[in-house]
Amino acid sequence: MFPFNKTLIIIPTYNEIANISSMVNTVFQLSSDLSILIIDDGSPDGTASTVKELQRQYPNLHLISRSGKLGLGTAYITGFKWALARQYEYIFEMDCDFSHDPTEIPSFLKAAENADLVIGSRYIGGIRIMNWPMKRLLLSYFASVYIRFVTGIPVMDATGGFKCFRRKTLETINLDKIFSKGYAFQIELNFKVFSKKLRITEIPITFHERREGVSKMNGKIVKEALWGVLKLRLLKIAGKL
């Protein structure tokens, strides 16, 4: 029996009108006991309005509307604090674009029985990415190699964003000291969990390029992640992490 009633799925959104209804419906098809928190950064396409309509159907669907694009990291921190103020024991990060398959949620919960952080990995059991151009795939793969080399984190997919945290894991991290705002946030969070000597495990997932909408990945995000890794290592050496 999965602890769906103690599980929160945090989904940041910006212009996800094409995906939001399907994602919410798919998650609640798993169990109506699950909870979803949408954190919308002022989507001009009406994503938040659609969520408000769906709330009439789903009592466990929650929404935080923010004034603009404040960054992926700040969205998740907002969600983590919201979860910790309530009685959730399992807190997920998940994208809205179906690159993360919500039907994998039970597999994460099973793995979380013996782990403090479960990461959905695209790089164990082979490379499990669908419909990516070779350039992007190589960039992502070698970024994870670089992160392992610099930080020592024994994680094959250090940039992956499909995760499940135990409540106690988030409680051990000072969320107010997390400095990364974009995709480097994923690396920083992994490193801080690793530095606390907590249990991290990876489970294989198949990553699908988004069904609808436009990818938010760009060169600025990649540069932030690369420099952020060095900063984390230096902070660790200086004892200021």
Q: In sequence order, what E strands does 45-199 have?
A: 61-65, 90-93, 117-121, 129-130, 163-166
Q: What does the block give as tokens for 105? A: 């949620």
Q: At CB < 8 A and 24+ separation, what contacts does 231-236 make?
A: 231/179, 232/151, 232/187, 232/188, 232/191, 233/150, 233/151, 236/151, 236/191, 236/195
Identify the DSSP state of 85: T
Q: Tell me, what's the pLDDT at 211?
A: 53
- Dmax (CA) for the chain in angstroms is 51
**Model pLDDT, residue 180:** 83
pLDDT value of residue 166: 98
Query: 6-38: per-residue pLDDT in tens?
Result: 999 999 999 999 999 999 999 999 999 999 999
The count of domains in the chain is: 1
Joined together, the tokens standing for residue 148 give: 């392992």
**Sign of the four-CA dihedral 203, 77, 98, 87:** positive
Please state the pTM of the whole predicted model.
Answer: 0.88
Domain residue limits at 16:
4-237
Q: So what's the pLDDT on residue 213?
A: 46
State which residues of the chain have pLDDT below 70: 131-132, 210-226, 230, 233-241
Residue 176: CATH number of its domain? 3.90.550.10
* pLDDT score at 85: 98
Please answer whether residues 11 and 96 qualify as being in contact, where contact means their C-beta atoms are separated by less than 8 angstroms: yes
